[in-house]
């Protein structure tokens, strides 16, 4: 995902990164050439003049705009819900880290190291959820954060975030048996783990339930049929300006269709999807800083980034 400061109006006209123009430029070229051909032949197909009243396109365009607005709202709702879930994960990871560091009363010499190991597990949970939503293994991060024994236990497992949550729960249960955590604190920490599970389930719901395909195919077909029939309705009234106007209208509708498809799957790796890698780096940096764990090569994420 690209996050940038808004620039002046002139630069905005020529920004390429983050624009869907690169995905639709071929379609726009084809429509422009088709419009030029219609203008050249004066709206005729094999000596048959195609008569289409521009009013028809006004009515169809209005209905299409309303339907696109509905689909855009549905896609953005999915995008924003995904962002809220990951924002909540940032809060909950920091809260659980604080509780582990301050409320686990372990005075043993190795206690600090044990707490650091469990905090690494929290980071591993975030990375594993990230990669599960993107259908990746993420071994480079899990091998850095987990012990070899834990890595072995994750082999051939499908829902790795749930397994890692189990590791954290086992550690908390062990501390409770040792008397390092009282029942009230244990209940609070268990609630944090339940929040982790709810976040994971919410992300999986978005991932596994895309927008209904019937909506997508109807919108896609209607947009392209509209754009290819539009030159016939405008050629007589606009003359040589018709290809330019058709290009402008086509860009608006086709670009919005592409945006709807892109943000409707918010956990992908396209430029306008959620920046999950950066969010995971933010979480790891902040909780490692709390626990005084050496950051190594990990650097604090920039405010503006490309995931």
pLDDT higher than threshold 60 for residue 299: no
Instruction: Give per-residue pLDDT as tens, 97-131.
Output: 999 888 888 776 677 888 888 999 999 999 999 99
- Which residues form the domain of 221? 20-45+52-291
Tell me, what's the pLDDT at 88?
Answer: 95
Find the angle CA(43)-CA(46)-CA(48) to the nearest 5 degrees.
Answer: 55
Q: Is residue 36 part of a domain?
A: yes
pTM value?
0.85
Instruction: Give per-residue pLDDT as tens, 150-188.
Output: 888 888 888 889 999 999 999 889 888 888 888 888 888
Compute the mean pLDDT over every residue in the chain, rounded to the nearest whole number.
85
Answer with the residue of higher pLDDT: 231 or 49.
231
Tell me, what's the pLDDT at 123?
Answer: 92
pLDDT higher than threshold 80 for residue 2: no
Tell me, what's the pLDDT at 128?
Answer: 92
What percent of the chain clears pLDDT 90, i.e. is strictly above it?
35
Answer with the residue of higher pLDDT: 17 or 177.
177
pLDDT higher than threshold 60 for residue 68: yes
Q: Is residue 4 part of a domain?
A: no
Answer with the residue of higher pLDDT: 133 or 297.
133
Q: Helix crossing, 183-208 with 54-103: angle to 10°?
A: 160
User: 302 pLDDT band (50/70/90 cuts)?
Assistant: low
Contact 255, 62 (CB under 8 A): no
**Overall average pLDDT of the 76-96 stretch:** 94
Contact 252, 289 (CB under 8 A): no
* 285 burial type by CB count under 10 A (0-12 exposed, 13-18 middle, 19+ buried): middle
Q: Is residue 12 part of a domain?
A: no
**Overall average pLDDT of the 12-28 stretch:** 80
What percent of the chain clears pLDDT 70, i.e. is strictly above it?
90
Q: Is residue 277 part of a domain?
A: yes
pLDDT higher than threshold 90 for residue 52: no
Q: Is residue 65 part of a domain?
A: yes
Question: What is the number of structural domains in the chain?
Answer: 1
Tell me, what's the pLDDT at 304?
Answer: 37
pLDDT higher than threshold 70 for residue 6: no
Q: Is residue 6 part of a domain?
A: no
Contact 161, 125 (CB under 8 A): yes
């Amino acid at each position: 995902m690209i996050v940038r400061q808004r620039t002046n109006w002139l630069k905005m006209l020529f920004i390429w990164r983050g624009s869907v123009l690169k995905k639709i430029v071929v379609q726009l070229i084809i429509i422009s050439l088709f419009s030029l051909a219609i203008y050249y032949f004066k709206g005729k197909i094999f000596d048959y003049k195609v008569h289409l009243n521009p009013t028809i396109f006004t009515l169809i365009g209005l209905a299409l705009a309303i339907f696109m607005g509905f689909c855009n709202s549905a896609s953005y709702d999915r995008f924003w819900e995904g962002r809220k879930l990951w924002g909540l994960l940032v809060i909950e990871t920091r809260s659980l880290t604080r509780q582990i560091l301050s409320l686990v009363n372990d005075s043993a010499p190795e206690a600090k190291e044990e707490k650091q190991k469990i905090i690494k597990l929290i980071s591993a949970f975030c990375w594993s959820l990230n990669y599960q939503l993107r259908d990746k293994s993420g071994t480079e991060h899990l091998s850095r954060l987990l012990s070899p024994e834990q890595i072995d236990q994750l082999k051939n497992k499908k829902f790795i975030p749930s397994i890692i949550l189990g590791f954290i729960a086992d550690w908390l249960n062990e501390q409770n048996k040792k008397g390092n955590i009282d029942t009230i604190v244990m209940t609070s920490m268990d609630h944090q783990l339940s929040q982790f599970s709810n976040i994971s389930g919410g992300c999986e719901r978005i991932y596994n339930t895309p927008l209904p395909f019937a909506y997508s195919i109807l919108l896609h077909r209607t947009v392209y049929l509209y754009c290819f029939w539009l030159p016939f309705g405008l050629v007589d009234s606009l003359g040589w300006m018709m290809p330019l106007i058709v290009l402008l209208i086509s860009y608006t509708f086709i670009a919005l269709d592409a945006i709807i498809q892109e943000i409707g799957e918010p956990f992908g790796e396209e430029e306008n999807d959620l920046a999950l890698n950066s969010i995971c780096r933010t979480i790891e940096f902040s909780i490692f800083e709390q626990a005084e764990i050496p950051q190594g090569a990990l650097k604090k994420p920039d405010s503006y980034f490309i995931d």
